[in-house]
Chain A
């Protein structure tokens, strides 16, 4: 056909169309024949077979959901188990008029409008022959009230189900996590067979991370029924395989001590067993009660949690990112020693400020009038900023970045919890990528005292402290012993440092707690062991040049974050701790006592066990 003018050639179009209709007609006849052939096969050839099947067809298959694995702490205390509870469930297909049934149920059981809206949402997601829970947790009164009139509600049944229960509630809510109703997004990626009959799934923490182990496998039962559908006997059943029980490295008593120690402050504390990488305690304060989530939390209660100023749902230990402040100084000092830029007794004069050559800007020390002549040891004990400004300048950002990254700063620790943050360890590259700016020398100085761009999570800080206590051997932290869970072995890496330098730094950290000039000297009272520690204060806002910081003038919200890292016993470290108290003021007064309580409890307990 000539295409140049693309004229409509009506006659050829008609012919073409007619031929296509004829072809379609033939295709349709063929397809209908295929259907009929199959029907003949089923209804004539297979009739006898299927008729006998139909006659015997009194067998209903029902799925048996698995029991979720129990979560224990390191001493076998139950952190999450399953308790029986009654739920009210509807099978839409068996209900003549669902709207009317819901209205009647609403009046009978005083259901809230929200419960109904929730249910209607579920209704659209399930197939009509599924049993869908309306109430996940019924109290005895509700059960009794419904049981009396159940015969008026075809398709509505009371089911006994197990629901998740957390005996310790908010003490370990972030870490253990909670289960909740399976939502639309999760439904998309779940195996429908594995989750048949299951309505909840791990949403956060261990419950989410180890969902695969905790869930188990459903079984099914083939039940013979009579013509009225009353079950007569179970013909065949495959029992569900319950989920694995998990034994965490967590010590819930220690966690509780930490929780109580925070009183009404916000913050986080992480304690790690130095030799193994076991996470002994990992607290984010304030907590929240995870129990309402498993029985279907109301939107109102959830919103209240979400919108609370104190952000109880936020896992500060895993996801909170704070400047490390002066807690970075032992690591900086170690870098200085390792690169042979200073020695533990090298003195420097601290006039209370530091200036880069040819720049008028004064980098202030927290002590306005200065520390006078200080050695590296003094600088750690008294937390002199000027010494570390100078050290940072001589090290340069590239060496700082390289050295600190060996301790895990700026990287995820790889703990077995979903959602960990990596913090920030700034470098030239990082700044180019994120700010599209070159690196300025002044930024090296403030990085040297753990301010500026640098951010760490409490978990990261605890891991770095444990690495230092462990002579530079870094062990990936974990909540489940790698041998028990099918996960890779902890990566053990050795930071390249001289043991002599490490003991220099550790001595200085002991002096922080055990010499009168130390910033955490108060801690040394009433203890029969030695703590190596370092205080820190992270600025929430920047104090302007020549302006004096007055803590009392500021509202608590603008107060500095208090930090403390420590390990003990200092000569043979067993436990490493990092504590952050938001807006707590000074690390020595706000954070260190919490760390001391954790350490004391742990050492007392383990020495009794020994």
Chain B
């Protein structure tokens, strides 16, 4: 804390590194993200049936998302902290707006149509919820006390409930977990953590008791997709065949038979990992996991070296959430987790989740590159 100059010696070693840190980018993170984006283009070219237009569209999205990241990285963390609560409240209001428009007969939806593009408030909430809780905890001494825990819990509960009503249970759970991550990093005691976990488990049968039959049926299919052979179960069976047939070395780029024969649904979006595994095999999968791990570690490193509590908690939560997305998607595709609609970060086709993720990385880079030489 006393002489907090830049500990990232390697970052200043090269001309490029120095330039990047001047425009508030972190070279290691940037390298990892670019590598992922390249992989995304590579695999999308294959899953789209070598459709150049799809590739072009994805490239445009990647470019836009990276520019947004660059822009976010320029905002100093204390500014982010200052607006954290306001942004949180705006996010909640937008969520309410989406719900109300849905109720008013337009049919349930998750987005607001802004003409040029569709805006999903739930995406914004993915960042503003941990930010608001990090702000709240950083204003108090850590570890938090009961009252602070309770208020922070309410801050998580509101968006979780609203998104679960959309209904988007998967996203709701992810947002709850991003909030829970802040709790964890804020240092709540193991006793509280374990007892609340126990409480949740104890509550499950009660909840089950109050559910309608059709809701129970949904939960059962959610947990056991094989019980729905023409619905979700079909995905998992096909996805396992694609992955398993890939073997150690894979069938090679553009050689995925399962995707080409259109057996695998959603192969460009949520199930893209199955195609990747089929074409690049176990070696490719482990390399990809390693790349994700590297990015997560770099993010955690940024969190450890962050200057104040707010930055630390937010950076910690963003890094962990990023990993959770990766884990939930791959876990679902390889059949060890229930099927929820979560795309594979930065690889799946689609712009919305990519922008959100890169905003998160923009914040991480901002935290890392805006440091006061005069510290505490």
Contacts and interface: CB of A to CB of B under 8 A. Distances in A.
Interface of A: 3, 6-10, 13, 16-18, 20-21, 24-25, 28, 31-32, 34-36, 38-40, 42-44, 46-47, 49-51, 53-55, 57-58, 60-61, 63, 93-94, 96-97, 121, 124-125, 127-129, 183-184, 188-193, 196, 218, 220, 225, 227, 229
Given A3-B145, A24-B316, A128 B266 contact: yes
26 contacts: A8-B141, A16-B142, A16-B143, A17-B187, A18-B304, A20-B187, A28-B323, A31-B327, A32-B289, A35-B327, A35-B330, A39-B285, A43-B244, A47-B245, A47-B246, A47-B247, A50-B245, A51-B247, A53-B241, A54-B241, A57-B263, A124-B109, A191-B214, A196-B231, A220-B230, A229-B262
Interface stretch (B63-71, B79-87, B295-303): B295-303
A56 to B, nearest CB: 10
Nearest to A43: B282
B242 interface: yes
Given A20-B187, A43-B243, A191 B217 contact: yes
A38 B334 contact: yes
Contact of B304 (A17, A44, A97): A17
A47 B251 CA distance: 12
A196 B107 contact: no
A601 to B, nearest CB: 43
Contacts, number: 167
Contacts of A60: 263
A218 B285 CA distance: 38
B51 interface: yes
B368 interface: no
Given A18-B304, A25-B300, A32-B293, A42 B243 contact: yes
B145 to A, nearest CB: 7
8 nearest A-B residue pairs (beta carbon): A50-B244, A54-B245, A16-B187, A129-B265, A43-B282, A6-B141, A184-B107, A47-B247
Contacts of A63: 230
Given A57-B258, A58-B261, 18 more contacts: A3-B145, A6-B141, A16-B143, A18-B304, A24-B300, A34-B336, A35-B331, A39-B285, A44-B282, A61-B230, A94-B262, A124-B107, A125-B107, A190-B214, A196-B231, A220-B229, A220-B230, A225-B261
A126 to B, nearest CB: 12
A218 B231 CA distance: 12
Interface string B73-114: 000000000000000000000000000001000111100000
Interface string B264-304: 01100100000001000110011001000100110010011
Contact of A13 (B107, B187, B303, B327): B187
A127 B232 CA distance: 11
B285 A43 contact: yes
Interface string B158-197: 0000000001000000000000000011010000000000
A28 B325 CA distance: 12
Contacts of B54: 96
A39 B288 CA distance: 12
A547 B327 CA distance: 82
A218 to B, nearest CB: 8
Nearest to B257: A54
Query: Which has the most chain B C-beta neighbours within 10 Å: A24, A31, A218?
Result: A24
Contacts of A47: 244-248
Interface residues of B, number: 69
A35 B107 contact: no
Contacts of B143: 16
Contacts of B51: 96
A19 to B, nearest CB: 8
A125 B108 CA distance: 9
Given A42-B240, A57-B258, A121-B107, A20 B141 contact: no
Contact of B242 (A54, A124, A127): A54
Nearest to B118: A124
A55 B312 CA distance: 51
Contacts of B230: 61, 63, 193, 196, 218, 220
B305 to A, nearest CB: 10
A504 to B, nearest CB: 52
B8 interface: no
B374 interface: no
B4 interface: no
Nearest to B247: A47
A467 B139 CA distance: 74
Interface in B310-352: 312, 316, 320, 323, 327, 330-331, 334-336
Contacts of A54: 241-242, 244-245, 257-258
Contacts of B300: 21, 24-25
B265 A28 contact: no
Nearest to B286: A36
Nearest to B181: A24
A94 B268 CA distance: 11
A40 B243 CA distance: 10
A229 B241 CA distance: 18
Contacts of A190: 214
A31 B334 CA distance: 13
